[in-house]
Structure 1
Protein backbone atom coordinates (compact mmCIF):
# COMPACT_ATOMS: atom_id res chain seq x y z
CA UNK A 1 0.00 0.00 0.00
CA UNK A 2 1.40 3.40 -0.88
CA UNK A 3 1.95 6.14 1.65
CA UNK A 4 -0.78 8.32 0.11
CA UNK A 5 -3.39 5.57 0.24
CA UNK A 6 -2.46 4.86 3.89
CA UNK A 7 -2.97 8.53 4.76
CA UNK A 8 -6.27 8.56 2.88
CA UNK A 9 -7.39 5.40 4.66
CA UNK A 10 -6.45 6.83 8.06
CA UNK A 11 -8.29 10.08 7.39
CA UNK A 12 -11.39 8.16 6.27
CA UNK A 13 -11.25 6.02 9.42
CA UNK A 14 -10.94 9.17 11.52
CA UNK A 15 -13.88 10.73 9.68
CA UNK A 16 -16.08 7.65 10.27
CA UNK A 17 -15.06 7.51 13.93
CA UNK A 18 -15.92 11.18 14.43
CA UNK A 19 -19.27 10.77 12.70
CA UNK A 20 -20.09 7.64 14.70
CA UNK A 21 -19.21 9.44 17.93
CA UNK A 22 -21.40 12.40 16.99
CA UNK A 23 -24.26 10.05 16.11
CA UNK A 24 -23.92 8.19 19.42
CA UNK A 25 -24.08 11.50 21.25
CA UNK A 26 -27.21 12.40 19.28
CA UNK A 27 -28.75 9.05 20.22
CA UNK A 28 -27.97 9.83 23.86
CA UNK A 29 -29.64 13.22 23.67
CA UNK A 30 -29.35 15.69 26.50
CA UNK A 31 -27.94 14.46 29.77
CA UNK A 32 -30.20 14.94 32.76
CA UNK A 33 -28.81 16.88 35.72
CA UNK A 34 -28.76 13.79 37.95
CA UNK A 35 -27.34 11.45 35.31
CA UNK A 36 -23.69 10.41 35.26
CA UNK A 37 -21.72 9.88 32.06
CA UNK A 38 -21.65 6.17 32.87
CA UNK A 39 -25.46 6.14 33.08
CA UNK A 40 -25.67 7.91 29.72
CA UNK A 41 -23.44 5.27 28.13
CA UNK A 42 -25.58 2.49 29.65
CA UNK A 43 -28.71 4.17 28.28
CA UNK A 44 -27.12 4.38 24.83
CA UNK A 45 -26.19 0.71 25.13
CA UNK A 46 -29.86 -0.21 25.51
CA UNK A 47 -30.67 1.56 22.26
CA UNK A 48 -27.66 0.54 20.17
CA UNK A 49 -28.10 -3.19 19.77
CA UNK A 50 -25.20 -5.57 19.18
CA UNK A 51 -22.57 -3.14 20.45
CA UNK A 52 -20.64 -3.96 23.59
CA UNK A 53 -20.33 -1.43 26.38
CA UNK A 54 -16.61 -1.06 25.72
CA UNK A 55 -17.20 -0.41 21.99
CA UNK A 56 -19.76 2.28 22.81
CA UNK A 57 -17.35 3.88 25.25
CA UNK A 58 -14.43 3.74 22.78
CA UNK A 59 -16.50 5.27 19.98
CA UNK A 60 -17.98 7.88 22.34
CA UNK A 61 -14.48 9.03 23.34
CA UNK A 62 -13.11 8.64 19.80
CA UNK A 63 -10.40 6.13 20.65
CA UNK A 64 -8.09 6.15 17.60
CA UNK A 65 -7.55 2.38 17.88
CA UNK A 66 -11.21 1.76 17.03
CA UNK A 67 -12.14 1.01 13.44
CA UNK A 68 -15.67 1.87 12.38
CA UNK A 69 -17.29 0.26 9.38
CA UNK A 70 -19.58 2.21 7.09
CA UNK A 71 -22.50 -0.13 7.86
CA UNK A 72 -22.19 0.75 11.55
CA UNK A 73 -22.49 4.44 10.73
CA UNK A 74 -25.51 3.68 8.54
CA UNK A 75 -27.08 1.77 11.43
CA UNK A 76 -26.66 4.79 13.74
CA UNK A 77 -28.09 7.12 11.08
CA UNK A 78 -31.11 4.84 10.66
CA UNK A 79 -31.60 4.71 14.42
CA UNK A 80 -31.70 8.49 14.58
CA UNK A 81 -33.97 8.67 11.53
CA UNK A 82 -36.49 6.35 13.19
CA UNK A 83 -36.40 8.40 16.36
CA UNK A 84 -36.90 11.64 14.41
CA UNK A 85 -39.86 10.16 12.52
CA UNK A 86 -41.52 9.17 15.82
CA UNK A 87 -40.91 12.63 17.25
CA UNK A 88 -42.35 14.28 14.13
CA UNK A 89 -45.44 12.08 14.40
CA UNK A 90 -45.96 13.04 18.05
CA UNK A 91 -45.44 16.73 17.24
CA UNK A 92 -48.01 16.47 14.45
CA UNK A 93 -50.53 14.86 16.80
CA UNK A 94 -50.00 17.56 19.45
CA UNK A 95 -50.43 20.24 16.80
CA UNK A 96 -53.66 18.63 15.58
CA UNK A 97 -55.06 18.43 19.11
CA UNK A 98 -54.24 22.11 19.68
CA UNK A 99 -55.97 23.05 16.44
CA UNK A 100 -59.11 21.06 17.34
CA UNK A 101 -59.17 22.70 20.77
CA UNK A 102 -58.92 26.19 19.23
CA UNK A 103 -61.71 25.39 16.77
CA UNK A 104 -63.93 24.10 19.60
CA UNK A 105 -63.33 27.31 21.55
CA UNK A 106 -64.09 29.40 18.49
CA UNK A 107 -67.33 27.51 17.86
CA UNK A 108 -68.46 27.95 21.46
CA UNK A 109 -67.56 31.66 21.41
CA UNK A 110 -69.22 32.49 18.07
CA UNK A 111 -72.39 30.42 18.32
CA UNK A 112 -74.34 31.02 21.54
CA UNK A 113 -77.00 28.59 20.30
CA UNK A 114 -74.57 25.79 21.04
CA UNK A 115 -75.83 25.05 24.54
CA UNK A 116 -74.67 21.47 24.75
CA UNK A 117 -71.41 20.71 26.48
CA UNK A 118 -68.61 20.79 23.97
CA UNK A 119 -66.23 17.94 23.20
CA UNK A 120 -63.69 19.43 25.61
CA UNK A 121 -66.19 19.13 28.47
CA UNK A 122 -66.90 15.54 27.47
CA UNK A 123 -63.17 14.76 27.49
CA UNK A 124 -62.84 16.33 30.93
CA UNK A 125 -65.81 14.30 32.20
CA UNK A 126 -64.26 11.11 30.80
CA UNK A 127 -61.00 11.92 32.56
CA UNK A 128 -62.82 12.44 35.86
CA UNK A 129 -64.39 9.00 35.45
CA UNK A 130 -60.95 7.44 35.11
CA UNK A 131 -60.78 7.25 31.34
CA UNK A 132 -57.45 7.42 29.61
CA UNK A 133 -56.37 10.87 28.40
CA UNK A 134 -56.50 10.97 24.64
CA UNK A 135 -58.77 7.90 24.43
CA UNK A 136 -61.14 9.84 22.21
CA UNK A 137 -58.43 11.39 20.07
Structure 2
Protein backbone atom coordinates (compact mmCIF):
# COMPACT_ATOMS: atom_id res chain seq x y z
CA UNK A 1 0.00 0.00 0.00
CA UNK A 2 1.49 3.29 -1.12
CA UNK A 3 0.91 6.54 0.63
CA UNK A 4 0.00 9.87 -0.93
CA UNK A 5 3.35 11.26 0.14
CA UNK A 6 5.34 8.62 -1.74
CA UNK A 7 3.18 9.16 -4.83
CA UNK A 8 3.88 12.90 -4.78
CA UNK A 9 7.59 12.30 -4.21
CA UNK A 10 7.64 9.94 -7.15
CA UNK A 11 5.88 12.54 -9.32
CA UNK A 12 8.36 15.25 -8.38
CA UNK A 13 11.29 12.96 -9.17
CA UNK A 14 9.77 12.04 -12.52
CA UNK A 15 9.24 15.73 -13.39
CA UNK A 16 12.80 16.60 -12.37
CA UNK A 17 14.20 13.73 -14.41
CA UNK A 18 12.19 14.76 -17.44
CA UNK A 19 13.44 18.35 -17.13
CA UNK A 20 17.04 17.11 -17.05
CA UNK A 21 16.49 14.88 -20.08
CA UNK A 22 14.85 17.77 -21.94
CA UNK A 23 17.80 20.03 -21.14
CA UNK A 24 20.23 17.32 -22.27
CA UNK A 25 18.30 16.90 -25.51
CA UNK A 26 18.45 20.65 -26.18
CA UNK A 27 22.18 20.67 -25.39
CA UNK A 28 22.76 17.81 -27.84
CA UNK A 29 20.93 19.72 -30.54
CA UNK A 30 23.01 22.80 -29.79
CA UNK A 31 26.24 20.79 -29.96
CA UNK A 32 25.16 19.24 -33.26
CA UNK A 33 24.55 22.64 -34.83
CA UNK A 34 22.82 22.95 -38.15
CA UNK A 35 22.55 19.95 -40.40
CA UNK A 36 24.41 19.97 -43.67
CA UNK A 37 22.28 19.81 -46.80
CA UNK A 38 21.24 16.22 -47.28
CA UNK A 39 22.50 15.11 -43.86
CA UNK A 40 20.14 12.70 -42.13
CA UNK A 41 19.34 12.62 -38.43
CA UNK A 42 21.26 9.34 -38.32
CA UNK A 43 24.30 11.21 -39.66
CA UNK A 44 23.89 13.89 -37.01
CA UNK A 45 23.62 11.26 -34.28
CA UNK A 46 26.77 9.53 -35.59
CA UNK A 47 28.59 12.86 -35.55
CA UNK A 48 27.49 13.42 -31.95
CA UNK A 49 28.57 9.90 -30.99
CA UNK A 50 32.09 10.70 -32.23
CA UNK A 51 32.17 13.73 -29.92
CA UNK A 52 30.71 11.83 -26.96
CA UNK A 53 33.14 8.92 -26.92
CA UNK A 54 31.91 7.39 -23.65
CA UNK A 55 28.29 7.33 -24.83
CA UNK A 56 26.77 4.46 -26.76
CA UNK A 57 25.00 5.27 -30.03
CA UNK A 58 21.69 4.20 -28.45
CA UNK A 59 22.20 6.53 -25.52
CA UNK A 60 22.91 9.48 -27.83
CA UNK A 61 19.71 8.64 -29.75
CA UNK A 62 17.60 8.26 -26.58
CA UNK A 63 18.78 11.58 -25.18
CA UNK A 64 18.32 13.27 -28.58
CA UNK A 65 14.67 12.19 -28.57
CA UNK A 66 14.32 12.94 -24.80
CA UNK A 67 13.17 9.41 -23.97
CA UNK A 68 11.48 9.52 -20.54
CA UNK A 69 13.16 6.25 -19.54
CA UNK A 70 16.66 7.76 -19.72
CA UNK A 71 18.42 8.50 -16.47
CA UNK A 72 21.29 10.94 -16.76
CA UNK A 73 24.18 11.28 -14.38
CA UNK A 74 25.30 14.75 -13.34
CA UNK A 75 28.67 14.20 -15.06
CA UNK A 76 26.93 13.55 -18.37
CA UNK A 77 24.90 16.75 -18.17
CA UNK A 78 28.06 18.69 -17.24
CA UNK A 79 29.86 17.14 -20.21
CA UNK A 80 27.08 18.34 -22.53
CA UNK A 81 27.14 21.81 -21.01
CA UNK A 82 30.91 22.01 -21.45
CA UNK A 83 30.66 20.97 -25.10
CA UNK A 84 27.86 23.44 -25.78
CA UNK A 85 29.60 26.39 -24.12
CA UNK A 86 32.67 26.72 -26.37
CA UNK A 87 30.44 27.03 -29.41
CA UNK A 88 29.02 30.30 -28.05
CA UNK A 89 32.43 31.64 -27.03
CA UNK A 90 33.93 30.46 -30.30
CA UNK A 91 31.47 32.52 -32.29
CA UNK A 92 32.66 35.70 -30.57
CA UNK A 93 36.29 34.73 -31.14
CA UNK A 94 35.61 33.94 -34.79
CA UNK A 95 33.87 37.27 -35.29
CA UNK A 96 36.76 39.16 -33.68
CA UNK A 97 39.25 37.22 -35.79
CA UNK A 98 37.27 37.95 -38.95
CA UNK A 99 37.12 41.67 -38.19
CA UNK A 100 40.87 41.72 -37.56
CA UNK A 101 41.54 39.94 -40.86
CA UNK A 102 39.28 42.34 -42.77
CA UNK A 103 41.01 45.37 -41.24
CA UNK A 104 44.43 43.92 -42.11
CA UNK A 105 43.36 43.18 -45.68
CA UNK A 106 41.94 46.71 -46.07
CA UNK A 107 45.29 48.18 -44.95
CA UNK A 108 47.14 45.94 -47.39
CA UNK A 109 44.79 46.95 -50.19
CA UNK A 110 45.29 50.65 -49.44
CA UNK A 111 49.06 50.22 -49.33
CA UNK A 112 49.10 48.21 -52.55
CA UNK A 113 46.78 50.52 -54.50
CA UNK A 114 48.58 53.79 -53.68
CA UNK A 115 51.73 53.07 -55.78
CA UNK A 116 49.63 51.64 -58.60
CA UNK A 117 47.70 54.89 -58.93
CA UNK A 118 50.92 56.91 -59.39
CA UNK A 119 52.29 54.42 -61.90
CA UNK A 120 48.99 54.39 -63.80
CA UNK A 121 48.96 58.19 -63.89
CA UNK A 122 52.55 58.27 -65.19
CA UNK A 123 51.63 55.81 -67.96
CA UNK A 124 48.70 58.02 -68.95
CA UNK A 125 50.97 61.05 -69.23
CA UNK A 126 49.77 62.83 -66.10
CA UNK A 127 52.31 64.57 -63.90
CA UNK A 128 52.25 64.96 -60.16
CA UNK A 129 50.55 68.35 -60.34
CA UNK A 130 47.77 67.03 -62.50
CA UNK A 131 47.10 64.04 -60.18
CA UNK A 132 46.32 66.34 -57.47
Q: TM-score, with normalisation over the residues of structure 2?
A: 0.73
Q: Which residue of 2 aligns with 1:83?
A: 87
Report the RMSD for the aligned CA atoms in angstroms: 2.1
Normalized per residue, which structure has more helix?
A: 2
RCO greater where, 1 or 2, for CA within 8 Å and sep 6 or more? Answer: 2
Unpaired segments ≥5 residues, structure 1: 117-137
Shift of 1:108: 6.1
| Residue 34 (str. 1) matches residue 38 (str. 2) | yes
Alpha-carbon displacement from aligned partner over 1:60-105 (angstroms, at most 9, x marks no partner): 1111111112221111010111233333322221110112223344
Alpha-carbon displacement from aligned partner over 1:28-81 (angstroms, at most 9, x marks no partner): 111122111111110111112210000001111111111112221111010111
Give 1 or 2 for the bigger CA radius of gyration.
2
| Residue 53 (str. 1) matches residue 57 (str. 2) | yes
Q: TM-score, with normalisation over the residues of structure 1?
A: 0.71
Q: 3-state SS of the aligned residue for 1:45?
A: helix
Question: Mapping of 1:1-137 within 5 angstroms?
Answer: 2-106=6-110, 112=114, 115=115
Aligned length: 112
